[in-house]
Amino acid sequence: MRDLGIKVLFQGINFFRLLEGLWVTVKISLISVVLSALLGIVLGMIMTIQNPVIKAVTKIYLEFIRIMPQLVLLFLVYFGITKAFGIHLSGELSAVIVFTLWGTAEMADLVRGALTSIAKSQYEAALSIGLTMKQTYFYIIIPQAMRRLLPQAINLVTRMIKTTSLIVLIGVVEVVKVGQQIIDANRLTAPSAALWIYGLIFFMYFIVCYPISILSRKLEKLWSS
């Protein structure tokens, strides 16, 4: 019975269908990652401005997004916004909106942390040797901030890919959904398919995320000295 199950993985185009499903997941995370990186850098820089109103607004945004489970945010957008405004949002679009909102909050906090970690003396030293403000940022501040930011930002990418697994719960046809279809289609011929399919999906996620985690760790070690 067990060897019948594993055959399902290689029957026909099953394996390719799973890969296609995985691509949907990765694509949605990549789009959200790019959008969050851009918006997060801008928001992070805004957050360093010393203004009580800006501080309060960004803090509320950050706290709310980060304290809510991502699945709740998905429900809020997918079910809540569609009903409140009477518009139809596809699962994919809702996912991109939610992960961008969440990723921007996380990214902004990393950027703010990296920028404020640079000692004031660095600015002063740069200005005292006659660099302009623009030069100070380009040659002194940004290179140092990058070293702190990049490992953590790459780590955020793996978190976003893992979190994207939730979108099956709002009806997006991605790798888990394809897996469920294959399991259902082979329920009679290969009853143990679920074990192999979910096992394979587990390793697919691992193979996508593991190299990214290693890269993040390597960079952190390289730049920590």
Partner 1 sequence: MDLGFIQKYYPLYIEAGVLTLRIAIIGIAGSFVVGLLTSLIRYYKLPVLKRIAGIYIELSRNTPLLIQLFFLYFGLPKIGIMLSSEVCAIIGLIFLGGSYMSEAYRSGMESVGAGQIDAGLSIGLKKHQIFWYIILPQAISVSVPAFAANTIFLIKETSVFSAVALADLMFVAKDLIGLYYRTDEALLMLVIAYLIILLPISAAFSLLERRLRYAGFGN
- Residues that bind partner 1 in the complex, under the rule CB under 8 A: 2, 5, 67-72, 75-76, 79-80, 83-84, 158, 162-163, 165-166, 168-169, 176, 183, 191-199, 201-202, 205-206, 209-210, 213
Maximum alpha-carbon separation in the chain: 77
Min dist CB 9 to partner 1, Å, is 13
* Alpha carbons 203 and 96: distance in angstroms, whole number: 24
Residue with smaller CB distance to partner 1, 97 or 166: 166
Residue with smaller CB distance to partner 1, 23 or 79: 79
Residue with smaller CB distance to partner 1, 145 or 166: 166
Min dist CB 133 to partner 1, Å, is 34
Residue with smaller CB distance to partner 1, 82 or 144: 82
Min dist CB 87 to partner 1, Å, is 13
Min dist CB 52 to partner 1, Å, is 20
